[in-house]
Amino acid sequence: MPVKECGSHASNSPRLLNFLGRNIICLVIFIIVTIIGIALAWVILHSPKPRFILQDATVFSFNVSGDPPDLLTSSIQTTLISRNLNGKTGINYDRLDVYASYQSQQITLPTSIPAAYQGYEEVNVWSPFIGGKYVPIARANALSLVQEQSSGAVKVLVHVVGKISWKVGPITRTSDLFVRCPALISFGNSAAGVIVGGRGVKYTLVTVCSVSV
């Protein structure tokens, strides 16, 4: 009985191997891309918050007026230092506003800081002026400010609010930024400050700020 050769089966074997080989290569590439994506997402989602320090405040004016007192005129130049603690990704400061508050009330007009990029473990320094002329404040806060200023020290909070983002490859994470920096200004102690420009007093603070994102 003659034996029939399966030539068609033999000819299909290379095609099957090529098909399996292409699919295995595609699967390996997909797994590698997925792992890279997960790693990038992990880096973004676990990026540490930037650190802020209020280095100093130079007070050019700080006067409560009105009868009864309910207006504040102030001009203060602050020095804010921000450090990116991440060694793998930079930070985009998309929008930042700085202002001061007293007893939970905003007492200065906000000052905008231009958008900036901060590289890996880099330090940015900003020196914005905050203040305002005849800014309305609660009467109770105005009286308290007058009393504290007469006693020699006023404690205010310097706020930095805005939006920041981290980007690694195609992945971007955006977050709101809230920074609170306590500032104790010793008006009654001339030795606590340095005269600047003949009309301002610079107080060194070096206060570590609380940061929320």
Instruction: Yes or no: say if 187 and 152 are a contact pair by the CB < 8 Å rule.
Output: yes
Sheet strands (E) in 7-153: 51-66, 69-83, 91-102, 105-106, 111-113, 116-118, 123-126, 129-136
**Of the given ranges (21-25, 46-50, 73-77), which has the lowest mean pLDDT?**
21-25
Give the pLDDT score at 168: 73
What pLDDT is recorded for position 20? 64
Q: Are residues 207 and 164 in the same domain?
A: yes
In a domain, residue 157? The reply is yes
Which tens digit of pLDDT belongs to each residue from 75-98? Answer: 999 999 999 998 878 899 999 999
- Is 200 found in the same domain as 97? yes
- Tokens 């005129």, residue located: 73
pLDDT of residue 39: 63
Nearest partner of 181 among 201, 160, 204, judged by Cα: 160
DSSP annotation of 2 reads P
Q: What is the pLDDT of residues 161-211, one digit of tens each?
A: 999 998 776 778 899 999 999 999 988 676 788 988 878 999 999 999 999
In a domain, 7, yes or no: no
Name the band, by pLDDT with cuts 50, 70 and 90, for residue 41. Answer: low
Return the structure tokens found at 123. 């330090």
Sign of CA dihedral 51, 52, 53, 55: positive
Whether 60 shows a pLDDT value over 80: the answer reads yes
Same domain flag for 158 and 201: yes
Residue 86 placed within a domain? yes
Same domain for 105 and 182?
A: yes
Please tell me which residue, 7 or 71, carries the higher pLDDT value: 71
The total of other beta-carbon atoms located within 10 Å of residue 113's CB is 18
Domain range enclosing 22:
16-46
Residue 16's pLDDT is 60
State the CB neighbour count (10 A cutoff) for residue 94. 14
- All residues at 6 or more sequence positions from 88 whose CB lies less than 8 Å from its CB, including other chains: 43, 120, 168
pLDDT for res 9 = 52
Residues 88 and 184 in one domain: yes
Domain boundary residue among 28, 46, 64? 46
Instruction: Report the pLDDT averaged over residues 155-161.
Output: 97
- Residue 50 pLDDT > 80, yes or no? yes
Question: Within this chain, do residues 86 and 129 fall inside the same structural domain, yes or no?
Answer: yes
Confidence band, pLDDT 50/70/90 cuts, at residue 12: low
Residue 39 lies in a domain: yes
Residues 69 and 163 in one domain: yes
pLDDT digits (tens, 9 = 90+) for 115-155: 999 998 999 999 999 999 999 999 999 999 999 999 989 99
All residues at 6 or more sequence positions from 191 whose CB lies less than 8 Å from its CB, including other chains: none
Whether residue 125 sits in one domain with residue 89: yes
Q: Are residues 55 and 39 in the same domain?
A: no
CATH of the domain at 172: 2.60.40
What total number of domains does the chain contain? 2
- Between CA 140 and CA 128 the distance in angstroms is 28
pLDDT score at 32: 77
Same domain, 156 and 76: yes
Kindly state whether residue 11 falls inside one of the protein's structural domains. Answer: no
- What pLDDT was estimated at residue 167? 79
Is residue 138 one of the residues assigned to a domain? yes
Tokens 């004016």, located at residue: 61
In this structure, the answer to whether residues 62 and 42 fall within a common structural domain is no
Amino acid 187: pLDDT: 81
